[in-house]
Amino acid sequence: MPRVKASSPQYAYVTNEKDNNLMVVDLETEKVIRTLATGRTPHALVFTATGKGYVNNRGEHSLTVIDGNNLTVLKTIALPATSMQFALSPDGKTLAVGYKDALLITLIDTATQRIIKTVAVGQGKKEGHSGYTGSNGSFYMLNAADGMICRINGATLTLQSRIKVGKKPMIMVVR
């Protein structure tokens, strides 16, 4: 079984929405070295510094967790809605998940692979784009339907504030 480093630039990890898998490509040999099954419609992918990877499956309510060092599937995490995007906290200990069909943000402990808490940031089944994290210990979610950035307090895991940003904002980057 190939063993790689999570930060290794010699491998490309490719999600395939139609094939419901993740392919690992060795960029030096230009060959697929592993294909891992995911849930339906795998889309975005993020890795922790230790090599644990998360794939959001937009065709179902789940994330696929992979071991990027041993190129294996570790588990599937059930979610309350269809994930849209996600981001890791600066320390890599928490994954914040935003949804396509619900105004929620779910926080996942990356050590245990368990949901810490799901926080409502609006009402109804509206589009809530990206869950992002800031260096101040807060998590941010762009609520596209209501035109707001929602701030979740990282210590209390409660909705802290809402910032009006327009009629239908689509992308947010916290830098």
Q: What is the pTM of this model?
A: 0.84
Do 15 and 91 belong together in one domain?
no
State the pLDDT at residue 28: 92
Domains in the chain, number? 2
Do 175 and 93 belong together in one domain?
yes
- Who has greater pLDDT, 111 or 140? 111
State the pLDDT at residue 135: 61
Q: Is residue 166 part of a domain?
A: yes
Do 19 and 86 belong together in one domain?
no
Do 55 and 83 belong together in one domain?
no
State the pLDDT at residue 4: 53
DSSP string, the chain: -----TT-TTEEEEEETTTTEEEEEETTTTEEEEEEE-SSSEEEEEE-TTSEEEEEETTTTEEEEEETTTTEEEEEEE-SS-EEEEEE-TTSSEEEEEESSSSEEEEEETTTTEEEEEEE-SSSS-----EEE-TTS-EEEEETTTTEEEEE-TTT-SEEEEEE--SS-------
Cβ-Cβ contacts under 8 Å for 52 (sequence gap 6 or more): 6, 65, 66, 67, 68, 74, 110
CATH number, position 169:
2.120.10.30
Do 7 and 87 belong together in one domain?
no
The average confidence (pLDDT) of the chain is 86
Q: Is residue 66 part of a domain?
A: no
Do 85 and 17 belong together in one domain?
no
Domain that holds residue 94: 79-175
- Who has greater pLDDT, 107 or 65? 65
Do 98 and 37 belong together in one domain?
no
| pLDDT tens track for 13-36 | 999 999 999 999 999 999 999 999
Do 97 and 175 belong together in one domain?
yes
Can you tell me the mean pLDDT for 71-99?
90
| pLDDT tens track for 121-147 | 876 566 655 556 666 678 888 887 788
Q: Is residue 119 part of a domain?
A: yes
Q: Is residue 101 part of a domain?
A: yes
Residue 175, pLDDT above cutoff 90: no
- Sign of the torsion formed by the C-alpha atoms of 153, 154, 158 and 159: positive
Do 51 and 112 belong together in one domain?
no
